[in-house]
């Protein structure tokens, strides 16, 4: 019934910070970008392999509940060839990461970092 994930939608609060983080620091390519005057927000579509990330910039969106965790999407995870190498690259760009650990079920390396609005992002081998 479902073939693959088409896109993931993320809401950010600051156009400059969010676009800089996802495009300049993480390296996603902009597919299209639109200012939606009727909503006074931006929608930036980013390429992530064969999937897309829809980055909505909404100035007055309510803050995300982190702890205790609430129902809904928990985090977004990206597959990488080397967690250690990716951590070094993220840290060199000023992005803090949690300590690398092994996934209890797959035995593969993984860790988390956060976007400018504190959305948890995971890298996983």
Task: Encode pLDDT of 24-74 as tens digits.
Answer: 999 999 999 999 999 999 999 999 999 999 999 998 888 887 777 777 778
Across the chain, the runs of DSSP E, i.e. the strands, are: 7-12, 29-36, 41-48, 51-57, 76-79, 101-102, 109-114, 120-124
Same fold for the domain at 1-60 and the one at 74-125?
yes
Give the tokens for residue 112: 């988390």
Confidence at residue 72, expressed as pLDDT on a 0 to 100 scale: 78
pTM of the model: 0.89
pLDDT band for 7, please (50, 70, 90 cuts): very high
**CATH T-level topology, domain 74-125:** 2,3-Dihydroxybiphenyl 1,2-Dioxygenase; domain 1 (3.10.180)
- Residue scoring higher pLDDT (114 or 59): 114
Q: What is the CATH number of domain 1-60?
A: 3.10.180.10
Percent of the chain with pLDDT over 70: 100
Q: Torsions phi, psi of 72, nearest 5?
A: 115, -170
Inter-CA distances, 118 with 6, 58, 113, Å: 24, 15, 9
Q: Where are the alpha helices (DSSP H) in the chain?
A: 15-19, 83-92
Residue 123's CB: how many other CB atoms inside 10 A?
20
Query: How far is residue 102's CA from residue 110's CA, in Å, rounded to a whole number?
Result: 6
Confidence at residue 107, expressed as pLDDT on a 0 to 100 scale: 95
**End-to-end C-alpha distance for the chain, whole angstroms:** 27
Query: How far is residue 45's CA from residue 68's CA, in Å, rounded to a whole number?
Result: 30
Each domain of the chain, given as residue ranges in start order, spans 1-60, 74-125
- Least confident stretch, 3-7, 14-18, 102-106: 3-7
2: pLDDT strictly greater than 80: no
């Amino acid at each position: 019934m479902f073939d693959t994930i088409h896109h993931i939608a993320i809401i950010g609060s600051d156009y400059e910070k969010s676009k800089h983080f996802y495009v300049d620091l993480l390296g996603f390519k902009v597919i299209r970008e639109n200012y939606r005057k009727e909503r006074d927000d931006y929608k930036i579509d980013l390429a992530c392999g064969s999937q897309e990330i829809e980055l909505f910039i909404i100035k007055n969106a309510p803050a995300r509940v982190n702890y205790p965790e609430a129902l809904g999407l928990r985090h977004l995870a990206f597959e990488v060839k080397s967690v250690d190498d990716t951590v070094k690259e993220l840290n060199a760009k000023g992005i803090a990461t949690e300590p690398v650990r092994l996934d209890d079920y797959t035995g593969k390396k993984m860790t988390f970092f956060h976007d400018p609005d504190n959305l948890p992002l995971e890298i996983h081998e």
